[in-house]
């Protein structure tokens, strides 16, 4: 058994391991090439998060999905670069909206420079992704455009909040299906499609990516509360400070409304108060870590990961399928 990539995927087949390692190395080269500019400052800003590393979760999924066709087909690596560039661009924009200071263990672009540089660098990465997409054909452009629309819609829905009478948890799950699930679904789809896999296989891997993407985001929600910055690469409680309603907090609020326990209402009031004080955030994190809502969010993560695993059943058994199943386990382990 070999651990591949920063995400920690277990691979038990030497040929698959070699393919995945080579694919990820080619993607890394492609990312550095795609983020070069004739203006040195733009190159520095665009490569800031590329060089900080990251899990490369989406390129990994592209590479694994391609195993159900020709993994060496010419469109596989460029499509993985497109997906990761798009993801990186959203991180630059997210850090501006969240006023985050740390990303992937390094100062965020907005902290390193300013908000304008961060936003414009994100736009630059979108432009480079579009340039690569043009060479992959109109179908790839359409798929990416639809996913990006869903991604932005999810972000807007998060900002707007649930409408009157709408269950906040159901609303939130819709938000993350758009914000996170849509692009990870594209990773599965591009990998299989560019490799020439059967249309049924492409559909299965698209559905798998959507469900796994939701589990991946829910694991991040748990990490924002349960981990320290060394594990997550960003400051714990970032979402709390910005008032972003992550799943553990939504479960807490639902429990407070349903049962009316004084301690739940008190914790909700703490979260609704001034979270600019580090001591207050530390106390809120401590109490959330002890609350059943955090375990409830962990169980939701497991459920979505198991749904992702179930979609794989029709695929032929083999190392690639086993690796995708292992990816479900890796996502759940992050939330453990």
Q: What is the mean pLDDT of the chain?
A: 87
Q: Nearest CA to 320 among 219, 140, 192?
A: 192
Instruction: Tell me if 167 is assigned to some domain.
Output: no
In a domain, 125, yes or no: yes
Please check whether residue 90 is in contact with residue 180, taking contact to mean a CB–CB distance below 8 angstroms. Answer: no
197-213 pLDDT, tens digit per residue, is 999 999 999 999 999 99
**How many percent of the chain have pLDDT more than 90?**
60
Determine, yes or no, domain membership for 3.
Answer: no
Give pTM, 2 decimals: 0.88
Answer yes or no: is 71 within a domain.
yes
**Structural domain includes residue 182:** no
Q: What is the DSSP string of 1-34?
A: -EEETTTTEEE--HHHHHHHHHHHHHHHHHHHHH
**CATH number of the domain to which 148 belongs:** 1.10.600.10
Query: Pick from 160, 186, 211: which residue ends a domain?
Result: 160
Q: How far apart are the first and last CA of the chain?
A: 21
| Same domain as 205, residue 145 | no
- Report the phi/psi class of residue 94: left, alpha or beta, with left for phi > 0 and alpha for psi in -120 to 50: alpha
Tell whether 125 and 233 lie within a shared domain: no
> Do 219 and 278 fall within a single domain?
yes
Per-residue pLDDT at 101 exceeds 60: no
193 vs 199: CA distance, rounded Å: 8
Count structural domains, the chain: 2
304 with 241, same domain: the answer is yes
Same-domain check for residues 324 and 215: yes
The residue that leads in pLDDT, 193 or 276, is: 193
Q: What pLDDT sits at residue 327? A: 92
- Encoded tokens for 180: 């996170």
Cα separation, 51 vs 63, whole angstroms: 20
Based on the fold, state whether residues 116 and 224 are members of the same structural domain: no
Percent of the chain with pLDDT over 70: 87
Give me the domain span that covers residue 90.
10-160
Q: Which residue has the higher pLDDT, 232 or 318?
A: 318
Considering the domain architecture, whether residues 109 and 240 belong to the same structural domain is answered as: no
């Amino acid at each position: 058994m070999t651990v591949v990539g920063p995400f920690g995927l277990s691979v038990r087949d030497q040929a698959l391991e070699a393919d995945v390692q080579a694919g990820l190395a080619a993607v890394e080269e492609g990312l550095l090439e795609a983020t070069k500019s004739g203006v040195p400052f733009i190159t520095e800003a665009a490569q800031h998060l590329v060089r900080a590393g990251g899990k490369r979760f989406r390129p990994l999924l592209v590479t694994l999905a391609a195993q159900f066709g020709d993994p060496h087909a010419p469109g596989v690596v460029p499509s993985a670069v497109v997906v990761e560039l798009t993801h990186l661009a959203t991180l630059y924009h997210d850090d501006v909206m969240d006023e985050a200071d740390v990303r992937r263990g390094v100062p965020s672009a907005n902290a390193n420079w300013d908000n304008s540089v961060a936003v414009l660098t994100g736009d630059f990465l979108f432009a480079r992704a579009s340039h690569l997409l043009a060479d992959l054909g109109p179908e790839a452009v359409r798929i990416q455009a639809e996913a990006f629309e869903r991604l932005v819609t999810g972000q807007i829905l998060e900002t707007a909040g649930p409408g009157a009478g709408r269950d906040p948890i159901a609303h939130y799950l819709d938000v993350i299906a758009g914000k996170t699930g849509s692009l990870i679904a594209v990773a599965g789809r591009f990998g299989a499609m560019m490799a020439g896999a059967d249309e049924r296989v492409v559909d299965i891997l698209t559905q798998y990516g959507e469900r796994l993407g939701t589990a991946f985001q829910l694991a991040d929600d748990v990490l924002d509360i349960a981990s320290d910055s060394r594990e997550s690469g960003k400051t714990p409680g970032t979402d709390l400070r910005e008032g972003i309603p992550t799943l553990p907090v939504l479960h807490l609020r639902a429990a407070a409304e349903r049962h009316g326990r004084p301690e739940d209402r008190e914790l909700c009031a703490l979260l609704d108060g001034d979270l600019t004080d580090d001591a207050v955030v530390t106390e809120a994190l401590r109490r959330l870590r002890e609350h059943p809502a955090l375990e409830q969010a962990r169980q939701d993560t497991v459920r979505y990961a198991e749904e992702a695993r179930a979609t794989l059943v029709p695929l032929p058994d083999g190392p690639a399928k086993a690796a995708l199943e292992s990816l479900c386990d890796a996502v759940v382990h992050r939330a453990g």
